[in-house]
Amino acid sequence: MKKYGLLSVLLLCLTACSAPRQAEKAASRNAIVWTNQLVEPLLVFDNSVISYRLKSKYRRRAVPFSATEKALPLKGDTYNYDLNSLDGRYYTVAERKDKNGYDYKLIVYNTGGDNDTEILVTQLISYKQGKPIDALLLELNFTFEIAYSSRYTVDNKSIQIDQYAINGLQCSEDGDIIGTKEVPDSTVWRLVYHIKDGQFMPASIRRIK
């Protein structure tokens, strides 16, 4: 448990340096920029579920998912997890309205993972006159042998998501965990979406590491 917790914290630290550079580039093009830096101060790591959770004062401000929000198909790789909020609620980190009248919410919540672990979910939802019209998964932050997280930048026109997978465990030929690697193996995929009329439209995907 402690190894998994340390791996998740290490992952957050290793990937944090990319967000400021992405934010600076986006800021030069658009006024509104959302990144992981908005969410991270709201979180605390819970070793009992090997996951980040909202601090209690923010969990108390969470609101229930509406029926239409629940029914909205979620774009992005869910790793075959059923991403239902554990308590049916989410916390709104940020909101904005664009010049065409579309509203956007950056939200976070926890869902169930494997073997009594939890997953921190960050997603983007768009609305038109209060009706949800699209939803995009920005990050699944969890550890189950491999530590997964994302670094994202959202501006008025586009979304960039760098998906990290870091494997720090050393296994035997039989698949048993026998230790940790001195240098974890890691892969990074970059996904880009364009925002048009409240829709999150896939633009490109490529491996960058």
Calpha distance 122→99 (Å, rounded): 24
List CB contacts of 17: < 8 A, sequence separation 6 or more: none
Tally the domains of the chain. 1
Q: What is the mean pLDDT of the chain?
A: 87
Which range of residues forms the domain containing residue 98?
A: 2-207
pLDDT at 203 over 90: yes
Calpha distance 157→163 (Å, rounded): 20
Amino acid at 165: A
What is the model's pLDDT at position 183?
74
pLDDT tens by residue, 150-177: 999 999 999 999 999 998 666 667 766 6
Calpha distance 66→6 (Å, rounded): 36
Q: Please report, rounded to a whole number, the percentage of residues in the chain having pLDDT higher than 70.
A: 80
What is the model's pLDDT at position 26?
43
pLDDT tens by residue, 77-113: 999 999 999 999 999 999 999 999 999 999 999 999 9
pTM reported for the whole predicted model:
0.82
- Helix, strand, or coil (residue 116): coil
pLDDT at 49 over 80: yes
**DSSP secondary-structure letter at 141?**
E
* Range from 11-25, 26-40, 83-97, 115-129 carrying the lowest mean pLDDT: 11-25
Calpha distance 27→33 (Å, rounded): 6
What is the model's pLDDT at position 101?
95
Reported as a pLDDT band with limits 50, 70 and 90, residue 198 is very high
